[in-house]
Chain A
Amino acid sequence: DGGITQSPKYLFRKEGQNVTLSCEQNLNHDAMYWYRQDPGQGLRLIYYSQIVNDFQKGDIAEGYSVSREKKESFPLTVTSAQKNPTAFYLCASSMDPIKATEAFFGQGTRLTVV
């Protein structure tokens, strides 16, 4: 089955620690995205990538970093510079961002600072 796999489902981070969230897709999509969801709010874009080895900042990129070394993988690192990282993180992909195709989402990773 084609889809987007995020791991882990739950992640706990200590203060001052960097953590990396995994996102893998086997849909052969060109574009991948990371969104953050907070309670009672819509999703906000952190980073996106339209092609391998290229990515751009979204609306709330501070304290996060990404890489896109392979088409199918787009990991997100939450650094210690992110002051309020507790949230639900969603990875998405789309076939062709120029042709306005819809985005497909993974099941999400819930990150909690302890």
Chain B
Amino acid sequence: GDSVTQMEGPVTLSEEAFLTINCTYTATGYPSLFWYVQYPGEGLQLLLKATKADDKGSNKGFEATYRKETTSFHLEKGSVQVSDSAVYFCARRGSGNTGKLIFGQGTTLQVKP
């Protein structure tokens, strides 16, 4: 069935390090893809999205490119800050016209000063 797989965490980095969080998905077509971020005790906030193949989503220094050849949507940031510490969820739109999302298990990022 439809699924999203993220790299396991936690990921611990020093401030200003380069970040990559891997995400792959299964799909019969080309669903919209999303990255959401969750800060402790809060709901999810949309970080970026891509709606078709080869699209690049970007926001707040984060980027992800929709790669249909590898069915991937890896999240990257060139220089992380302590304030980026959070849980990051990769998601794809579910099949059919329901608007539901299928989520990966989440990756915890901890950035140390």
Contacts and interface: CB of A to CB of B under 8 A. Distances in A.
Interface of A: 4, 6, 31, 33, 40-45, 48, 50, 56, 58, 90, 92, 94, 96-98, 100-108
A75 B103 CA distance: 22
Interface residues of B, number: 25
Given A42-B89, A42-B104, A100-B32, A94 B46 contact: no
Contacts of A94: 99
A103 B105 contact: no
A35 to B, nearest CB: 8
Contacts of A56: 98
A107 B42 contact: yes
A107 B38 CA distance: 10
A43 B89 contact: yes
A43 B98 contact: no
